[in-house]
Amino acid sequence: MNTNTTNASAGKSPYVIEMRGITKIFPGIIANDDITLQLKKGEIHALLGENGAGKSTLMSVLFGLYQPEKGEIYKNGEKVTINDPNDANALGIGMVHQHFKLVDVFTVLDNIILGVEPTKYGFLTKKEAREKVLRLSKTYGLNVDPDALVEDITVGMQQRTEILKMLYRENEILIFDEPTAVLTPQEITELMGIMKGLAKEGKSILFISHKLNEIMEVADRCTVLRKGKYIGTVDIADTDIERLSEMMVGREVHFTVDKDESKPGDVVLEVKDLTVKGHSHKKNAVNGVSLKVRKGEIVCVAGIDGNGQSEFISAITGLTKCEEGSVITLNGEDVTKKSIRYKNTHGMSHIPEDRHKHGLVLDYSLEQNLVLQRYFEKEFSHGGFIRFDKIRDYADVLIAEYDIRSGQGPVTPARSMSGGNQQKAIIARELDRPHDLLIAVQPTRGLDVGAIESIHKQIVSSRDAGAGVLLVSLELDEVMNLSDRILVMYEGEITGEFDPKKTTVQELGLYMAGAKRQNGRGEADGK
Amino acid sequence: MENKKTFGEKCAAFVRKDGVRSVIASLISILGGIAVGFIVLLLLAAFDSDVTFSQALKGILIVIKGPFSSGSADNMLFQIGNMLFEAAPLVMTGLSVAIAFKTGLFNIGAPGQYLMGAMGALVVALSLPTDTIPSWIVWILALLAGTLLGAVWGAIPGFFKAHFNVNEVIVCIMTNWIAANVVSWVFLDTDFINTPETKINFIKKTSSNGVATAKLGLDKIFEGSYMDISLIIASLVAIALYIMMNKTTFGYELKACGFNRNASKYAGMNEKRNILISMSIAGALAACGAALWVLNGSQDFKWNTYMSLPAEGFNGIPAALLASNNPIGVIFSSLFLKFLNKGGANLSAQTPFNEYVSQLIVAVIIYFSGFSKLFRDMLAKKLKGNEKRDGDSLKAKGGKKE
């Protein structure tokens, strides 16, 4: 090893980090209840649990963001107190966050040394830093150009930059918070290789995930949390996906979606030549996309994040404007220039990508959020006055039907609900509204398998009830499981259409990465 | 909380209510302001040989007793009457700021809207002939004219905010000074100005044209004061706004827009229109406050306003903050501010502290009232801390939530 870590007391304890009996209480909820986590040196240790199981809280305790009510943390057998992230860094604990903390307009090298810039007489001395970064990237196979601007490199490379950041700071304990959410299948394979390499070089890795197959592939051991409680730690070699998921959810989970063959009916949504300008005006974010969604089918737009899916959906729903020449038809009626309210009240339901930005008014209560598009309807208002009793009744029905859990029922502030239940509230609201077209953008993002299972069921039943579903997802499992037809979007264009039964994840991955393109879908690939 | 669990828990539950917490926070900030004001007086006493420490103590008591420290009973009633009358415009500007806040906008344009309202009301009240039109109709028309002008003036920053996303604070400040100059320019060399022999810097009183707000005998109760029904009008407006914000679909939209513009757009609300309307209402309220003030009939309006903006407009900000933007609360916070104001006046009248010191003390208390949100958050944090310590009892009760 070429890093000169001061690791004197190793050997005292088999565990490089040990969290014993951690209890963390928030008002009304015990986020961590007597949890023990033991991380061996050089192992990849997965931390598995549903949303709200307490994974993030536990990691925040380890990172010094929260102080536990009870419990102790040991490093190499010695008791330590971690009061803030600086303490954690000093102890060699580093974290790759789900959303990268990089400065887009800085180079990779600048980002890596940010905060620990080597200086001489107050001037930056980047030469040594550069050599160190190159050495590290060679040792661990982290292929990235130190002089490239972060905004110009792929998400996978950005993640590698984050990893290099930890290595540059000579961290020995690396926390990966759901690292695969933003990657293509190929990039995921690569990341798995990198993680294994890091472990082999003696780094200890905590891998937070709820993707079971990744845990099975890469982890040595796995600690499972459920509803704030410690369920157990298992050796991956002795277990399988079914058992892990049962530990996580507390019951059996069905991974495949049970659904009948789709029976496509009339066209409910037709998009012709939809074009949306890009932010930088260099390129169109969406370039002349046409598609049809029929009643009773689930059409999925697959692709890597940032290939125009968000802009495409925003234009259809009316959140952003599309260019002249684009035509959007809903139930045979041209709605290109119609307002969002018009579309909302004429059969369009929309589960938005960003539940905090668009989906909810976080300062409103759950019941107020459940009528966000309907508060003005006769059912809920009279002469301009809101009928609070009717809203309460309606909210009670939805809460029961969709199993939305919250601290104070209908009057709970949306902000204080867990992410999964916030999403359930949005889904309840959108599915319960009369709709012919359901637009769902990453409806299960950040949710656990139990919640995903129920949301998938609800989407399928919406289809079976005769709605057309336009699904945008970055999760290939979801794409393959749920859709009746798959369209791949790459750089603002549809580059391929697939039948999920006749294609593979690998094949889709090639189209998503732009390596392949179907004939008749724009220009053929020049290579 | 530790020793008396049941009572303590009851207290905690009571304090945990948002409204109660806001009131407590406001009280804390007021007490803090009074404490600092007292320190200022003590410091002055320490460094000024003319002033003694006992006078400092007497001084702060005078301030916090407001009009009740006025000496004689007659004088007290007079001061209370004026306090109630002067509170009315402040209630209106406070409401103006509060409503905008609720929609996520900072209406620092109240002074400009106030000036436009005063101008609109004065022009109509002084130019319509009261010998042909009944004076109460002129009064109503003048009030409406002022209010309408303010609505238009408030709509300007609203328009720029909604359609070009220009920060409303910048446009508000600019419209303030534009209003200050427009008003001076409109009144320059007109018959509205008092004759040179009297007060050349002031517009004629509306009573010169027989137009004045109804008094309903209130001026008899509070002998010699300006008291009229304007505070009753302002309070009714506050109640109407409370109902509008909390009970109507329109209020639901405005608040949604204030909390999360993107989500309200997603939900199909016309967020641009809402911003525009919210600012118009805010402008109308501030202007209506000014109209109530000038239409009292006995008030002097200084017309060459281009050098300064009316304090009443800015004071709407602390009035709104102190009330946590609750329309009903604004009535009380405005009364409180005017109460202090009277105390300040008595301070300079009865002690060696000059009027600047008394205004300073009042300003310190108002300044502290701006911290009410800070105290509210601190209170919330403190409660959380207590809950954490009570974690075991929580666990025992099975109070676990998803």
In terms of DSSP bridges, do strands A267-277 and A327-330 run parallel, antiparallel, or are they unpaired? Answer: antiparallel
Phi-psi label, residue B379: left if phi above 0, alpha if psi -120 to 50, beta otherwise: alpha
A376 min Cα distance to partner chain B (Å): 6
* 3-state helix/strand/coil string of A397-434: HHHHHHCCCCCCHHHCEHHHCCHHHHHHHHHHHHHHCC
Decide which of A356 and B387 is more confident: A356
Contact call for A372 and B394, based on CB within 8 A? no
Q: Does A411 touch chain B (CB under 8 A)?
A: no
Residues of chain A with pLDDT under 70: 1-12, 27-28, 51-52, 182, 252-255, 280-282, 446, 519-527
Contact call for A358 and B263, based on CB within 8 A? yes
Chain A residues in contact with B263 by the CB 8 A cut-off are 357-361, 372
Q: Whole-number mean pLDDT of chain B?
A: 85
C-alpha A241/C-alpha A420 separation (Å) is 22
Residue B5 confidence class, pLDDT cut points 50, 70, 90:
low
The rounded Cα A286 to chain-centroid distance in angstroms is: 23
Cα dihedral: A204, A210, A211, A217 (round 10)? 30
> Mind listing the pLDDT tens digit for each residue in B301-339?
888 777 788 988 999 998 898 888 999 999 999 999 899
Residue B387 confidence class, pLDDT cut points 50, 70, 90:
very low
C-alpha A513/C-alpha A526 separation (Å) is 15
Closest CA relative to residue B349, chosen from B68, B74, B62 = B62
> Mind listing the pLDDT tens digit for each residue in A303-322?
877 788 889 999 999 998 88
- Residue A144's pLDDT is 85
Chain B residues in contact with A345 by the CB 8 A cut-off are 268
Which CATH class name applies to A1-92+175-252? alpha beta
DSSP code for B204: P
- Residue B402's pLDDT is 32
* 3-state helix/strand/coil string of A289-328: EEEEEECCCEEEEECCCCCCHHHHHHHHHCCCCCCCCCEE
Structure tokens at A50: 């549903």
* Cα–Cα distances in angstroms (integers) from residue A9 to residues A14, A15, A16, A74, B342, in the given order: 11, 11, 10, 12, 72
Chain A residues in contact with B249 by the CB 8 A cut-off are 375-376, 381, 384-386
- Residue B14's pLDDT is 66
Q: A313 burial class (0-12, 13-18, 19+ CB within 10 angstroms)?
A: buried
- Residue range B343-361: mean pLDDT, rounded: 81
C-alpha B214/C-alpha B232 separation (Å) is 11
Residue B8 confidence class, pLDDT cut points 50, 70, 90:
low
> Mind listing the pLDDT tens digit for each residue in A222-263?
999 888 889 999 999 998 888 888 888 777 666 677 788 888
Backbone angles phi, psi at A224, to 5 degrees: -110, 130
Q: A446 burial class (0-12, 13-18, 19+ CB within 10 angstroms)?
A: middle
DSSP H or E stretch at residue B2: none
C-alpha A116/C-alpha A28 separation (Å) is 40
- Residue A504's pLDDT is 86
- Residue A178's pLDDT is 82
| CATH of range A254-347+434-527; options 3.40.50.970, 1.10.3720.10, 3.90.600.10, 3.40.50.300 | 3.40.50.300
User: Which distant-in-sequence residues (6+ apart) come within 8 Å of A327 by Cβ?
Assistant: A270, A271, A272, A273, A274, A334, A336
DSSP code for A178: S
User: Which distant-in-sequence residues (6+ apart) come within 8 Å of A312 by Cβ?
Assistant: A274, A276, A285, A286, A289, A301, A472, A489, A492
- Residue B16's pLDDT is 63
The answer, yes or no, to whether residue B173 has pLDDT greater than 60, is yes
Domains of chain A by residue range: 1-92+175-252, 98-169, 254-347+434-527, 361-429
The answer, yes or no, to whether residue B392 has pLDDT greater than 50, is no
Q: Does A341 touch chain B (CB under 8 A)?
A: yes
Helix axes B230-247, B249-259, angle to 10 degrees: 80
Decide which of A152 and B138 is more confident: B138
**Interface predicted TM-score (ipTM):** 0.79
Q: Does A106 touch chain B (CB under 8 A)?
A: no
Q: Are B263 and B256 in contact (CB under 8 A)?
A: yes
